[in-house]
């Protein structure tokens, strides 16, 4: 086994600008790359410096072999010229199982990253705790988890799942900031198929229990998914391009690029559109990286650039559930806002929501508790926060989407905006219930009057709930000017990035 997977420097043909170039998609699925080859895909050419290569597993009885490095390669390298601590587990050495030495190498790497204040990226592919080492392996995981927590909100932590990740091992990825999975190969589950069948009678595959689709669509654990290994590692490089080295550094800036064309958004409130087109008309061209696109898709989150500066995007998506906020959206939005705030990334919020999703199902799922996470995150945030109300902003969802009352630095509205406790039809039905019952023909007039006198952006501007009414075509210019005026927040530690 050790001979088949011996650790060696990657062939130069395998690395070109941080990407695997000599492995076709079909071949990539048939054969796993070595940990060194994977790390060569992650870091800049010639920049990797390994430590702990000669470490060996403790000589426990029953351990047939003691591979050099004990199943994990640790070290540092540069990613686009910026230093990062990196590790890659070797599933070909004792299945990549974690024993005492394996864990100690990762813990030492985590401590180095914290001391030098630069990001940590882990390439995960492990069978889990090494059974032969018993409690030593379990304590190894505990030590890693503790370092994950101590680093939370201080240095960016990214986990790329390229193979198995089972049992207690799954908690380290869950404690990091961003989780990326390779489709068809990466799996995360607490309990494997055999145990699940024994306990519950369900006959499921590892992919069904903990594959990339399950975690990207349902659990929300996976932020990004790629079909191939090189694509997953490339996503880690891209995520790092938006994040600072640590909370004590300013997020990186690049040369700005023109935005796309601002789309024509339907003025009719019931007509849907893709808010990502509006995002494309605001941010630098091709800079938007959406996170968790299939989890709570009624709320869009992701990184982008505005005039070359990193920003976080939070936007209601009218294509899904009309853009309502539900329990899952509270989890998704709350943690993303806290991630951006932890690392000094300004927030741009685009609002078009009819409110929180009503019903027994949502109440039982904890929409109050989970929706409160979004309120808390925005209220707590100290980074620059700018909001644009595109169309409707009703009820508690208006407040939750970074309203002036939650401390937004700037709030703007398009002329098509409607801001109120609820929609005009529902409001009039309550306020004028008796009058409408006696004179049904008055309903349309009362609805028009309510819209004109209560819901307009002019009314909100009079009450200083918004700063100005702006034209859609001017949105990018106005937002960029606002962020320049507010300036960069001081690079300090604010808070951790608690899992949601």
Tell me: the pLDDT tens digits for 436-461?
A: 887 888 778 887 777 777 878 999 99
State both tokens at 56: 């060996």
Domain ranges for the chain, please list them. Answer: 12-242, 275-417+456-486
Residue entry with tokens 């790629």: 226
Give tens-digit pLDDT for 257-275: 999 999 999 988 889 999 9
Q: In terms of pLDDT, which residue wins out, 85 or 193?
A: 85
- On the question of pLDDT at 1 being above 60, the answer is no
CATH number of the domain located at residue range(s) 12-242 in this protein? 3.90.226.10
Q: What is the pLDDT of residue 212?
A: 95
Q: Is 275-417+456-486 the same fold as 12-242?
A: yes
Q: What is the pLDDT of residue 167?
A: 84
Give tens-digit pLDDT for 198-220: 888 888 999 999 999 999 999 99
The architecture of the domain spanning 275-417+456-486 is Alpha-Beta Complex (3.90)
Among residues 397, 400, 417, 420, the one annotated as catalytic is 397
Among residues 19, 143, 168, 366, the one annotated as catalytic is 168
State both tokens at 315: 């936007």
Among residues 396, 426, 429, 461, the one annotated as catalytic is 396
pLDDT band at 166 (very low <50, low <70, confident <90, very high): confident
For the question of residue 482 being annotated catalytic, the response is no
Mean pLDDT of 309-333: 97
Mean pLDDT of 413-419: 94
d(CA 372, CA 382): 18
Q: In terms of pLDDT, which residue wins out, 25 or 437?
A: 437
Give tens-digit pLDDT for 262-308: 999 998 888 999 999 999 999 999 999 999 999 999 999 999 999 99
Q: What is the pLDDT of residue 23?
A: 32
d(CA 372, CA 393): 17
Give tens-digit pLDDT for 366-382: 999 999 999 999 999 99
Taking residue 165's Cβ as centre, other Cβ atoms within 10 Å add up to: 27
pLDDT band at 13 (very low <50, low <70, confident <90, very high): very low
For the question of residue 64 being annotated catalytic, the response is no
pLDDT band at 132 (very low <50, low <70, confident <90, very high): confident
- On the question of pLDDT at 18 being above 90, the answer is no
For the question of residue 167 being annotated catalytic, the response is yes
Q: What is the pLDDT of residue 496?
A: 96
Mean pLDDT of 462-488: 96
3-state SS track over the chain: CCCCCCCCCCCHHHCCCCCCCCCCHHHHHHCCCCHHHHHHHHCCCCCCEEECCCCCCCCCCCCCCCCCCCCEEEEEEEECCEEEEEEEECCCCHHHCECHHHHHHHHHHHHHHHHHCCCEEEEECCCCECHHHCHHHHHHHHHHHHHHHHHCCCCCEEEEECCEEEHHHHHHHHHCCEEEEECCCCEEECCCHHHHHHHHCCCCCHHHHHEHHHHHHHHCCCCEEECCHHHHHHHHHHHHHHCCCCCCCCCCECCCCCCCCCCCCCCCCCCCCCHHHHHHHHCCCCCCEEECCCCCCCEEEEEEEECCEEEEEEEECCCCHHHCECHHHHHHHHHHHHHHHHCCCCEEEEEEECCECCCHHHHHCCHHHHHHHHHHHHHHCCCCEEEEEEEEEEHHHHHHCCCHHHCCCEEEECCCCEEECCCHHHHHHHHCHHHHHHCHHHHHHHHHHHHHHCCCHHHHHHCCCCCEECCHHHHHHHHHHHHHHHCCCCCCCCCCCCCC
Percent of all residues in the chain with a pLDDT value above 70, rounded to a whole number: 93
d(CA 150, CA 113): 11
| CA nearest neighbour of 107 among 140, 149, 72, 154 | 140
Mean pLDDT of 11-31: 37
Q: What is the pLDDT of residue 63?
A: 67
d(CA 467, CA 449): 24
Give tens-digit pLDDT for 383-406: 999 999 999 999 999 999 999 999
- Residues 491/345, Cβ–Cβ less than 8 Å: no
Q: What is the pLDDT of residue 62?
A: 64
Among residues 77, 167, 211, 234, the one annotated as catalytic is 167
Q: What is the pLDDT of residue 66?
A: 82
Highest mean pLDDT among 28-32, 118-122, 433-437: 118-122
Mean pLDDT of 477-497: 95
For the question of residue 397 being annotated catalytic, the response is yes
- Residues 367/298, Cβ–Cβ less than 8 Å: no
Percent of all residues in the chain with a pLDDT value above 90, rounded to a whole number: 72
d(CA 224, CA 177): 12
Give tens-digit pLDDT for 215-268: 999 999 999 999 999 999 999 999 999 999 999 999 999 999 999 999 999 988
């Amino acid at each position: 086994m050790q001979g088949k997977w011996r650790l060696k420097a990657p062939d130069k043909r395998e690395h070109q600008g941080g990407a695997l170039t000599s492995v076709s998609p079909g071949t990539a699925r048939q054969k796993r790359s070595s940990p060194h080859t994977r790390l060569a895909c992650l870091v800049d050419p010639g920049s990797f410096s390994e430590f702990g290569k000669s470490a060996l597993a403790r000589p426990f009885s029953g351990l047939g072999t003691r591979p050099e490095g004990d199943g994990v390669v640790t070290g540092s390298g540069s990613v686009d010229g910026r230093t990062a601590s990196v590790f890659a587990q070797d599933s070909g050495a004792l299945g990549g199982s974690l024993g005492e030495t394996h864990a100690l190498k990762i813990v030492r790497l985590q401590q180095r990253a914290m001391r030098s204040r630069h990001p940590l990226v882990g390439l995960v592919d492990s069978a889990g705790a090494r059974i032969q080492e018993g409690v030593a392996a379990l304590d190894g995981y505990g030590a890693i988890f503790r370092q994950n927590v101590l680093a939370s909100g201080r240095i960016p932590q990214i986990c790329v799942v390229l193979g198995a990740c089972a049992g207690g091992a799954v908690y380290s990825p869950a404690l990091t900031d961003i989780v990326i999975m390779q489709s068809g190969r990466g799996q995360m589950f607490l309990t494997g198929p055999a145990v699940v069948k024994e306990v519950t009678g369900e006959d499921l595959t590892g992919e069904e229990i903990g594959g990339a689709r399950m975690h990207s669509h349902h659990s929300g654990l996976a932020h990004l998914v790629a079909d191939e290994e090189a694509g997953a590692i490339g996503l880690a490089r891209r995520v790092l391009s938006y994040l600072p080295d640590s909370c004590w550094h300013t997020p990186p800036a690049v040369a700005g690029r023109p935005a796309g064309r601002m789309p024509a958004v339907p003025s009719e409130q019931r007509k849907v559109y893709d808010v990502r087109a509006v995002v494309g008309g605001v941010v630098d061209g091709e800079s938007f990286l959406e996170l968790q696109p299939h989890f709570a898709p009624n709320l869009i989150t992701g990184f982008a650039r505005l005039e070359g500066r990193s920003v976080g995007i939070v936007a209601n998506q009218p294509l899904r559930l009309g853009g309502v906020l539900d329990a899952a959206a509270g989890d998704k939005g709350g943690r993303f806002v806290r991630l951006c705030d932890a690392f000094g990334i300004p927030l741009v919020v685009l609002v078009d929501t009819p409110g929180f999703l009503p019903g027994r199902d949502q109440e039982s799922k904890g929409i109050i508790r989970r929706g409160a996470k979004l309120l808390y995150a925005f209220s707590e945030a100290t980074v620059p926060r700018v909001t644009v109300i595109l169309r409707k902003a009703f009820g508690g969802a208006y407040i939750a989407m970074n309203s002036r009352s939650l401390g937004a630095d700037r709030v703007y509205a398009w002329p098509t905006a409607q801001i109120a406790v609820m929609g005009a039809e529902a409001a009039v039905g309550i306020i004028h219930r008796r009058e409408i019952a006696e004179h049904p023909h008055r309903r349309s007039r009362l609805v028009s009057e309510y819209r004109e006198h209560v819901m307009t952006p002019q009314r909100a501007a009079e009450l200083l709930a918004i700063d100005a009414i702006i034209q859609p075509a001017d949105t990018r210019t106005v937002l960029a000017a606002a962020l320049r005026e507010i300036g960069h927040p001081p690079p300090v530690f604010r808070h951790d990035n608690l899992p949601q």
